[in-house]
Structure 1
Amino acid sequence: MTRKNILIKDALGNKVSGVLSIPKDASFVVVMSHGFTSNRNSRLYIQLEKELNAKNIGTVRYEYYGHGLAYGHKKRGLSNDTTITKTVESLKSIIKYLRQRGYNRIGLVGSSFGGLISLIVASQDKKFEFLLLRSPVTNVIELWNERVSGSKNKILHEWKNNDIFHYNREEVEYDLKWEFWTDMQKYNMLKIGEKISCPIFIVHGDKDEIVPIKYSEDFSKTVGARLKIIKGSNHSYSNPKNFIEMKSSIKDFVLKQTESKIKTIIFDWNGVIGDSLALDHFIFLQECKRDGVKAPKSLAFYRNLFNENIFVSMKKLGFVFDDMDEKYKQLYQKHISMSKIFPGMKSVLRCLKKKYSLVLITSNYQCNVDSFIKKYKLEGVFDSILTADTSHSKEANIKNFLIKLSLKKKEVITVGDTVMDIKSARKNGLKIISTVWGYQSKRTLVANNPDYVANKPEDIIKIIGEING
């Protein structure tokens, strides 16, 4: 267990203090942002730290700009020059600190104003696993318009002229400089929220007297966030039953999000991405004629060769592999115009690339793959490509790839179109999505019990999304 107090500086040179508590083998860290005038020692965050650490999940309780001991506040309070922009930089510095130390799976938890900060940072950075907001400020401009309502123009005039606004309501008292108001105008939270790509979960009491629940209701509808309403709860969840329900909802969500999820997708090429069945069947017939191999000419017979490793099937038919690889490459390159990309696959790959590491492992050859990628402008889509030039065994290529990158099998899934693809995945302890538009029929594939079946390219996105919750 690594547990220590940290004191760092953000990009603006301002101090950021926190408590780092990370179990030895933890790969996931939750960063918790407190509320306005509060600090890192809130009852909720201390309890979550203990309970999440017990589940091998790391935590960071920190204090953003103007708050906590680093700024002279032992309990509640804040510096009068606090702004949203300054507090956002505080959280960003904590994220940078963690990533520099190898912690890349990070989730954000934010309470009230801390939810506002977390929301802004999540909109600027697509790498977070989730965003959890407790009674968050999701419309800061409207909230503050209400706080200065009544004699609004007079209050704003005095605030601007005096450079100080004295707030004294709901048993909270503090001063804020005019800069807070002007800085706040930059943050249209509904537009900012639409930029967030990670899962968002909001917990809010329907009797909140500080931040009305209507803000969370409007925000959740706009950005598609999940909203959990705690009936009868105020802003501080002072009722013990409300507090327990709120904390349980947060903890359950975090535990669900920190389960192993798909990170890497291994694609087959022919029959999944490339529509090359007709070309490969044509080459097969040419090779039979050239080498004097007597075999049925039907497409149905050729398809059944993929019930096992295609190279093994070819050897059983009597093919000699002395120069077959080179002859196949020559024929494929000569007739490569027959190899098309399946409709919809390019957009599916582009979409998946935004969230996952994509790998191509095929029983075809590098030169053919390179020509196809260039033809359809797929450069940069795949992080790794392994072909028959490395090994005729797809099973071995997958195994070696997993070992080389030390990948967790629960975080990898394969996509293939043949019975052999199913067998290769199983032997490597991986799950597979079988595609029905490739070399073998849906009936043949289903008979071999793949984990999932994609009837169209878009189903791949849907299936992986459902797996990851």
Structure 2
Amino acid sequence: MVMAHGFTSDKNSNGRFNILANAFTKAGFSVLTFDFSGCGESDDDRLTLEKEVDDLKSAIQFVKSRGYQTIGLYGHSLGSLICLKSYTSDIKTMVLSGALTNAMKYDWEQYFTKEQMKELKEKGYITIQRTGTWRHTIVVDKQMLRDFEDIRQPELLQRVTCPVLIIHGNSKKDEEELLLLERSQQGMQYLSKDSRLKVIDGATHSFLEHLEILKDLSTRWYVNHMS
């Protein structure tokens, strides 16, 4: 099992991935979590979609080099898009939470300060300050922000032939997750007939208050589709 974290996050994913990875391990799977370039303990780099796809493909090649032939993917948020873009016939199945399956137009001024938006305009990137254990700054390339809007759903999903479980929340307090859910509902027509969409009632994009349900849904899916 190879797990891909979300935008500007790290291999712990605010504790989500630790809980999920432990559950997958108890179910009999080997699990690899890793930091995308420029995140967590990885080397400094500007975040771009293309680089993250390359990172996940490298992680998949690494587990294959260790003799694993049955490989599943788990992606959260932006990590779900990276999983979909990294798909090859070697992938047995995937689980995607808070999935990004179609173009999303964000008002970045709501997420970043005026100083950061000025930096983006003048330098072509945004520097994010962090207080985490591993990293104090994350640098996001302007292309990464554009890539959220440049997703073509049919092209993205039709090439994925393995069974996919997409999990969303439907909290009315989380507009982003509701928009992502709407896009995934529209995209199910392009996935295999064995794919499913599950909605956790009241969950937000973080799923932090619904991790037990997320863990159970994901683990049962892998047990059924990785055997």
Partner of 2:9: 38
Deviation of the 1:165 alpha carbon = 4.5
Partner of 2:164: 200
Aligned length: 208
Give the fraction of aligned pairs with identical amino acids, expressed as a percent. 25
Partner of 1:129: 92
Partner of 2:22: 50
Partner of 2:78: 113
Partner of 1:232: 202
Partner of 1:163: 124
Are the aligned partners of 1:85 and 1:183 in contact in 2 as well (CA < 8 Å)? no
Structure 2 gap ranges (5+): 111-115, 130-136
| Distance (Å, rounded) in 2 between the aligned partners of 1:166 and 1:41 | 21
Larger Rg: 1 or 2? 1
Partner SS state of residue 86, structure 2: helix
Amino acid at match of 2:60: I
* Matched ranges for 1:284-303 at <5 A: none
Partner of 2:190: 222
CA-to-partner distance for each residue in 1:106-145, whole Å, 9 max, x for gaps?
Answer: 00110111111001111xx112110110111112xx32x2
| Distance (Å, rounded) in 2 between the aligned partners of 1:119 and 1:39 | 19
CA-to-partner distance for each residue in 1:292-336, whole Å, 9 max, x for gaps?
Answer: xxxxxxxxxxxxxxxxxxxxxxxxxxxxxxxxxxxxxxxxxxxxx
Structure of greater relative contact order (alpha carbons < 8 Å, 6+ residues apart): 2
* Matched ranges for 1:63-462 at <5 A: 63-71=35-43, 81-122=46-87, 125-139=88-102, 142-143=103-104, 145-148=105-108, 159-165=120-126, 176-181=140-145, 187-207=151-171, 208-211=174-177, 212=179, 213-224=181-192, 225-239=195-209, 242-259=210-227
Distance 1:61 1:189, change over 3 A: same
Deviation of the 1:167 alpha carbon = 7.8
- Aligned-residue RMSD, C-alpha: 2.9
Amino acid at match of 1:234: T
Distance 1:82 1:203, change over 3 A: same
Are the aligned partners of 2:24 and 2:31 in contact in 1 as well (CA < 8 Å)? yes
Amino acid at match of 2:163: P
Partner SS state of residue 253, structure 1: helix
CA-to-partner distance for each residue in 1:145-192, whole Å, 9 max, x for gaps?
Answer: 233489xxxx99984554135789xxxx96533232456666424311
Are the aligned partners of 1:209 and 1:235 in contact in 2 as well (CA < 8 Å)? no
Structure 1 gap ranges (5+): 1-29, 73-78, 260-469
Are the aligned partners of 2:93 and 2:226 in contact in 1 as well (CA < 8 Å)? no
